[in-house]
Amino acid sequence: PLLLGISKSAVETDSFLSAASFQETARVLTEAAVRGKVDKLEGLKENVIIGKLIPAGTGRNFDRETSRRIEERAMELKEIREEKARELAEATANRLPDEILGSNADVHVSSAESALALAERMKSEHNFDF
């Protein structure tokens, strides 16, 4: 155990907002900004400073559980979205739309065909100037 005076113990908290409200405000806020600190607003003092409801009472655990569920669902939806994007990329990786090439038949571009050859073909077919 380390014995600190009241002013030093108030500044040594994990919450930079709480520490800044007590003493050495400029130093504490500058240090927090330079180090990229994040205040999770878990204490009474920091929530009062920000103007949020204090994290106390019977609704506190409900709020935490709700936030946890929202974060889990967001991660699930992100994974689903990424999987669909991968499937779409795989399905269309070797195909180019007819409108780009100007032909009525399905056109498949082999992986060996270079982008330069494709650009030259488009340039000659459509008079594109790259």
pLDDT of the residue at 33: 92
Q: Are residues 51 and 14 in the same domain?
A: yes
1 and 40, same structural domain? Answer: yes
What range defines the domain where residue 28 resides? 1-55
96-128 exposure pattern, b = at least 16 Cβ within 10 A, e = fewer: eeeeebeeeeeeeeeeeeeeeeeeeebeeeeee
Q: How confident is the model over 2-34, as pLDDT tens digits?
A: 665 655 555 567 788 888 887 788 988 899 999
Specify the number of domains making up the chain: 3
Same domain, yes or no, for 67 and 51? no
Q: How many other β-carbons are positioned within 10 Å of the β-carbon of residue 21?
A: 15
Say if residue 130's pLDDT is above 90: no
Write down the pTM of the prediction.
0.37
Residues 65-124: tens digit of each pLDDT: 888 899 999 999 999 999 988 888 777 766 666 654 555 444 455 544 556 676 677 667
Same domain, 20 and 42: yes
Q: Is there a single domain that holds both residue 82 and residue 38? A: no
